[in-house]
Amino acid sequence: LDCSSLHRGSLRSAIRSLFRQTKVMEAPRESVDVVVFSGDALAPYHRLSSDLFARGGKFWAHSFVLCGGCHNLQLEQPRRLTQESLRGHMASSSAAAAAAASASGAGCCLLKRLEEGKVATSAFLHSSVQLQLDLRETAADVVDAWLQYLYTQDDTNFAWPSCMVSSLHEDTVEAERFWVELLRLARKVGDQNLMLYAQDVLVGALTRENWAQLAIVGEQAQCRLLLEAAQMVGVRALQQAMLSSFKVGNGLDASDEELEQSGSLLGAGVSSSSNPAAAAQNKIESELDRRLLNLPPATHQLELAAISALRQGSPSQFADFKHRLAENINSAQRASNQLRQACKFFESGAASGYGGEEGPGSIPWFIEMFCLSALLIFFLVPSSARSFALSSMLLIVEPVRVWFAFIDWSWLGPWVEGVARVAVLNVVLLVILLLVAWTGLKR
């Protein structure tokens, strides 16, 4: 028997039992002790379930589940305290609030106690509800989704609106709005699991139409992953248009006039700077404002709308977007120049002479190929064939050897000593090495 799986199954069953206690319509009399007030639903009424519509903006929850899963929720301290107790409670609550706020970047949400008169005279009479959480600024269907995920931790994409591209534009906009509001609620209450889940869904829903809006949402909710992904989608959507605007080619099909024109656009005032790379990027960033807004509306209507939205909604993110785009343009320009210079180098025949004009003093290519082929053939042929070739060569040079035997070589006596022979060989090798180095430098 697997005890770990039994423990997980028992815990899941217990959590689901607690979740079923929160689905009642009237004020519960069991362990449910929190009422959560919400606003109107985001979705149209014909798409809401009858259960959500009949709740009237009231949801039930357990305080220990809320405080255990959301670190921005704090329990309101009782009012009737002595002076010393009040100071202690204020110090402890302020320290806990500061820790939670520093962890999530948001303030605390208080679980407030219901007023005594309201408990006695309202629908909460004879119920176990003692606390309230005011979320009237959040839609009812968003609050319902948050509570469902908080209790069950299930992937509820099948029940919630999907952000995938739909055939109806209204459905896509509604789904994006729902997940954005869910992300904001998760940050407000400090539900880290739901923040990661909603952020992952929104990253998968990024398109050329909504990247600017989701970049603004990522900045407001301090979601670094969503912000980075939205910026990258925007840079990719506009990079090709900006490369064409700055006349940056691939370096293979560009003429010298086009390269000079591109260099004049990107490198004006760069040569006199101490840091040419930074000066070139600053030049590009200063030109991007005008060139981004001068894109033709007929072909870049979506990009122009996204740029205007980002510029008005978040100037800091618009500046970051321009910086990333300028870096890509500057890198593409440097790569294009280097590739064009390499092409010109090989086209001029100055690289190796294969198929081109040979420089003065260079060895013809067919002689080099013949020597290389002879070496390869000598070492690759079988030993029997190699022995036969050497024997044939000895037969050919035998008359020459006999003729050299009748010549008087006594005058070479002083040069055949050991020291003289080694010195002559060293000089010959040094001359050969210098010739090889000189030939390589000339090439």
The answer for residues whose C-beta is within 8 angstroms of residue 98's C-beta and 6 or more apart is none
The pLDDT of residue 394: 83
Instruction: Give the phi and the psi of residue 72 in degrees, each rounded to 5.
Output: -95, -5
Query: What is the pLDDT at residue 219?
Result: 92
| Structure confidence at residue 165 (pLDDT) | 52
Q: Are strands 131-135 and 109-113 parallel, antiparallel or unpaired?
A: antiparallel
60 in helix, strand or coil?
strand
Please count the CA atoms within 13 angstroms of the CA of 383 that sit on its side-chain side. 0
Full-model pTM: 0.65
Instruction: Residue 211: name the closest of 293, 299, 306 by CA.
Output: 306
pLDDT tens by residue, the chain, 443 residues: 344 444 556 777 777 788 888 777 776 667 788 888 888 887 664 455 656 666 778 888 888 888 888 988 888 776 554 455 545 555 555 555 444 444 444 457 788 887 644 544 456 665 677 888 999 899 888 898 898 888 888 765 555 666 555 556 777 888 888 899 999 999 999 999 999 999 998 998 898 888 999 999 999 888 999 999 999 999 999 988 888 888 887 766 655 555 555 555 555 545 455 566 677 778 888 888 888 888 888 888 888 899 989 989 999 999 999 999 988 888 888 888 888 888 887 777 654 554 444 555 556 777 878 877 877 777 777 878 878 877 888 888 888 878 877 777 676 666 666 667 778 778 888 888 888 888 878 76
Please report the pLDDT score of residue 335 as a whole number. Answer: 86
For position 384, what pLDDT does the model report? 81
DSSP secondary structure of 320-383: HHHHHHHHHHHHHHHHHHHHHHHHHHHHTT-S--TTSPPPTTPPPHHHHHHHHHHHHHHHHS-H
For 117, the token pair is 């008169």
Q: Hey, what are 211's tokens?
A: 């990247």
Determine whether 132 is exposed, middle or buried from the number of CB atoms within 10 Å of its CB (0-12, 13-18, 19+).
buried
Report pLDDT for 81: 46
Three-state SS at 160: coil
